[in-house]
Amino acid sequence: MTVGKHRSKVRKFKERNQDRMTENYDIPAPKKRKLSLQIDPAKFEKATDEEKKQADVMAESTTFFKDGMRKLLRNPLAIIAIVILCIVIATIIIAPHVVPYGYDEIITVNGVRDKRAANLSPFQFSDMEKQYMEESGEKLFPHIMGTDELCRDYFIRVVYGTRVSLLVGIFASLMVLIIGTVYGSISGYAGGRVDLIMMRIVDIIYSLPDLLIIILLSVVFKETMDFSRVPVIGKLGTNMVSMFIVFGLLYWVGMARLVRGQILTIKQNEYILAAQAIGAKPGRVIRKHIIPNCISVIIIMTAQEIPSAIFTESYLSFIGLGVQLPMPSLGSLANAARSGMQSYPWKLVFPAVMIILIVLAFNLLGDSMRDAFDPRLRQ
Amino acid sequence: MSKYIVKRVLLAIATLFLVCLITFFAMNAVPGGPFNSEKAKSPAVMEVLNERFHLNEPVGVQFWIYMKNILHGDFGVSLTTGRDIWNTIWSSFQVSAKIGGMAIIVALIFGVILGCTAALNRNKWPDHVIIFFVTLFTAMPSFVMGSFLLLIFCIQLRWVPVWTTAHPSYVLPVIALSLPPMAYITRLTKTSMLDALGQDYVRTAKAKGVKPRKVIFIHTLRNALIPVITYVGPLTASILTGSLVVERIFTISGLGSKFVDSITKRDYTMIMGTTIFLATLMVVMNLVSDILYKVVDPRIKLE
């Protein structure tokens, strides 16, 4: 738009609103400076009794948790993360019941193995399926993400892969939570020489190259141990067991350091001294003062541990040390998709996007939880 | 200071020893000796072999001999190829070091520049754009990044040839390796930069009329870079572990792909050699960055 046109528009606008504008300008309002405190009492009216009562209402007393949740739910990023996670979790719970294919099931049409159903693109049906649908008039469930090279429905495989990744992430972080908290609090409470020795051990474990040790141990466990009869873990395979063991052995040190540091600083606070001076018993001090003050930091750390566990799992699966076949995992799906990347790029894109979505959601949630709950940031 | 360094060096040695211990006993726990899997050999040959590789000794003695050999730079012989492990490691390390070194430099330079840009334009569009990509890249494992790069630039756009053994193109592997740590460095630099910008000495410098550029480079950036220096150790580790998969994706015969290959082939001496080599590299880099941290920042009290 040129300047001249714009000016003519402004002029027209002024002409049209001539009467209203002049009317407003008739009242010579006293020229008031911005931020001036001159108040015209005529503009106000007395409050009724009812209105006065409203001022008396105190804010509802809130607990630490409620306050944090309020802050969390006000953060748009946290909402996005929660929505993504809810959708993902709902999908992985519901999908296996809705989709009529199994994660290790080769597609059959009317009981006959469909040999040409390999590498279908999303929502495509094989010739045999089309023929069957025409003949019987029955509608088959679409292959939402196509099929893989062994004629298995890819969507359900991605769903199971996501299940594995999420379970591994949550289980591993719970393990880190338990071991780290117990070790850290013992070290923090005991203090002195016990603390010193325990922390030196942590220092050494902390500087171990964790991924190399995981790879090494998963090779060893694969050769030496047999978990195939154990119900759930047997399906995931020895590699996952070794990953859990290594998580239990190595990853807790960060948590232990954090918990110890928290307890040491909290122990020195005045309110602890005050509580002790009033005569509170140690149990009460721990329950009422120490735990509430460090629980948020611990929860945040646990939430942030989940994506790192998912990373490790997908990484191991990618180099072929992950879950036992035919159980899929997002990493092994991505690895398998590499060979046909030129012709079937979506097979790589689906699991990769799934990993990114989950990790992104957990990262965002962890960060916004830290902003909402961390007592150090609240002050 | 020297006391601190001595303590750190001792800790590093303890860590390395632990790594050797774990790797050695882990490998020994695997059933079957190195020569069982091959064709049946005559007892006489087995005896000579066992004698040669000290396999008839107790495990403790074997460990002692292995440690002695490693300290002399003798990593033994690969079980699948029969080649000297140290030579294999060293030649493939040169390839990896080239890519990894470039990735470290790229990650550091761009990370710091982007972090500063984000901090200096806080809550404006450059900040938002940078933080968006940083959040995205931290959620991307290096193998996803590598595969996507390959998919986009080699297969869809055909800018870079896919498999070139003659003149390997380092552009994509370096990008794939450097992006995740770069995202972290950007975040680190941004927070420490914001922290430094709020300090009293920066306000003083501005108040006495120092030029803005000088305030940023002399007063702020120098102090903001201290956390970045501590990250150099973990950065090396992350680049090394990232290279395990990135080299595999781009079919580069570096140390990472050697390591993964040796795992899939169950080449135990090779796994052990590479694990110890990589672990030493990581521990040394951690040590260097820890000591540098104390040297650079005189405010940090020595224990």
Asked which of A16-20, A76-80, A296-300 is least confident by mean pLDDT, the reply is: A16-20
Give the pLDDT band (50/70/90) at residue B29.
Answer: confident
- Choose among B151, B259, B286: nearest Cβ to A345: B151
A136 occurs within a structural domain: no
A350 occurs within a structural domain: yes
Residue A212 with chain B: CB contacts under 8 Å: 19, 241, 275, 278-279
Q: How far apart are CA B106 and CA B93, in angstroms?
A: 19
A259-273, A336-350, B167-181: range with highest mean pLDDT: A259-273
Decide: helix, strand or coil at residue A152. Answer: strand
The C-alpha torsion from A265 through A270 and A273 to A277, rounded to 10°, is -170
- The per-residue pLDDT for range B41-59, each reduced to its tens digit, is 677 777 776 776 666 777 7
Q: Residue B152: closest CA among chain A residues belongs to which residue?
A: A345
Q: Between chains, do B271 and A352 touch, taking CB under 8 Å as contact?
A: no
Phi/psi of residue B84, nearest 5 degrees = -70, 130
> For residue B109, is pLDDT > 90?
yes
> To the nearest whole angstrom, how far is the Cα of B52 from the nearest Cα of chain A?
24
| Integer CA distances (angstroms), A205 to A244, B204, B282, in order | 16, 44, 13
Q: What is the per-residue pLDDT for B35?
A: 59
CA B42 from centre of chain? 44
Residue A342 with chain B: CB contacts under 8 Å: 155
Q: What is the per-residue pLDDT for B105?
A: 92
Of A8 and A218, more confident: A218
- Residue B157: name the closest of B171, B143, B167, B144 by CA: B171
> For residue B127, is pLDDT > 80?
yes
Q: CA gyration radius for chain B?
A: 24
- The per-residue pLDDT for range B1-20, each reduced to its tens digit, is 788 888 888 888 888 888 88
Q: What's the mean pLDDT in A224-232? A: 65
What is the percent of chain A with per-residue pLDDT over 70, rounded to a whole number? Answer: 82
Q: What is the per-residue pLDDT for A379?
A: 45
- Choose among A219, A319, A341: nearest Cβ to B151: A341
- Choose among B138, B150, B275: nearest Cβ to A363: B138
- Residue B137: name the closest of B190, B184, B193, B192 by CA: B184
Q: What is the per-residue pLDDT for B236?
A: 83
Q: Between chains, do A207 and B148 touch, taking CB under 8 Å as contact?
A: no
pTM of the model: 0.78
Of B106 and A301, more confident: B106
Decide: helix, strand or coil at residue A106. Answer: strand
Give the pLDDT band (50/70/90) at residue A83.
Answer: very high
Q: Between chains, do A213 and B22 touch, taking CB under 8 Å as contact?
A: yes
Q: How many domains does chain A have?
A: 1
- Residue A348: name the closest of A375, A322, A314, A378 by CA: A314
Q: What's the mean pLDDT in B58-63? A: 80
- The per-residue pLDDT for range B256-274, each reduced to its tens digit, is 888 878 877 777 778 888 8
Residue B27 with chain A: CB contacts under 8 Å: 216, 220
A42 occurs within a structural domain: no
Q: Between chains, do A341 and B147 touch, taking CB under 8 Å as contact?
A: yes
With an 8 Å Cβ cutoff, the interface of chain B facing chain A consists of 11-12, 14-15, 18-19, 22-23, 26-27, 29-31, 135-136, 138-141, 143-144, 147-148, 150-151, 155-156, 237, 241, 244-245, 248-249, 259-260, 263-264, 266, 271, 275, 278-279, 282-283, 286
Q: CA gyration radius for chain A?
A: 31
What is the percent of chain A with per-residue pLDDT over 90, rounded to a whole number? Answer: 5
Phi/psi of residue A40, nearest 5 degrees = -95, 110
Q: What's the mean pLDDT in A251-266? A: 86
Q: Residue B275: closest CA among chain A residues belongs to which residue?
A: A212
A24 occurs within a structural domain: no
What is the domain range of residue A209?
65-105+152-377
Q: What is the per-residue pLDDT for B107?
A: 92
Q: What is the per-residue pLDDT for A30?
A: 60
Neighbouring residues of B194: CB distance < 8 A, sequence distance ≥ 6: B119, B122
Q: What's the mean pLDDT in A314-335? A: 80
A359 occurs within a structural domain: yes
> For residue B81, is pLDDT > 80?
no
Question: Which of B147, B269, B270, B274 should we substitute to test contact with A (largest number of A Cβ atoms within 10 Å)?
Answer: B147
Q: Between chains, do B147 and A207 touch, taking CB under 8 Å as contact?
A: no
Chain B contact for A140 (CB, 8 A cutoff): no
Asked which of B156-160, B212-216, B233-237 is least confident by mean pLDDT, the reply is: B156-160
Q: What's the mean pLDDT in A197-213? A: 81
Q: What is the per-residue pLDDT for A169?
A: 86
Residue B248 with chain A: CB contacts under 8 Å: 319
Decide: helix, strand or coil at residue A109. Answer: strand
> For residue A102, is pLDDT > 80?
no
A184 occurs within a structural domain: yes
> To the nearest whole angstrom, how far is the Cα of A371 from the nearest Cα of chain B?
14
Residue A349 with chain B: CB contacts under 8 Å: 151
A69 occurs within a structural domain: yes
- The per-residue pLDDT for range A128-141, each reduced to its tens digit, is 777 777 777 777 77
Q: Between chains, do B139 and A334 touch, taking CB under 8 Å as contact?
A: no
Q: What's the mean pLDDT in B285-299? A: 78
Q: Between chains, do B11 and A342 touch, taking CB under 8 Å as contact?
A: no
Q: What is the per-residue pLDDT for A1?
A: 44
Residue A348 with chain B: CB contacts under 8 Å: 147-148, 151
Chain B contact for A54 (CB, 8 A cutoff): no
**A242 neighbors B49 (Cβ within 8 angstroms):** no
Q: What is the per-residue pLDDT for A82?
A: 92
Q: What is the per-residue pLDDT for B303?
A: 40
Q: What's the mean pLDDT in A191-209? A: 83
| Token pair listed for A8 | 């003519």
A363 occurs within a structural domain: yes
- Choose among A349, A355, A363: nearest Cβ to B141: A355
- Choose among B15, B136, B139: nearest Cβ to A204: B15
ipTM of the prediction greater than 0.85, yes or no: no
> For residue A79, is pLDDT > 80?
yes
Average model confidence (pLDDT) for chain B? Answer: 81
- Choose among B11, B31, B139: nearest Cβ to A207: B11
> For residue A220, is pLDDT > 60?
yes
Give the pLDDT band (50/70/90) at residue B87.
Answer: confident
> To the nearest whole angstrom, how far is the Cα of A100 from the nearest Cα of chain B?
30
CATH number of the domain to which A318 belongs:
1.10.3720.10
Q: What is the per-residue pLDDT for B283?
A: 85
Asked which of A226-230, B149-153, B185-189 is least confident by mean pLDDT, the reply is: A226-230
- Residue B193: name the closest of B221, B219, B168, B167 by CA: B221
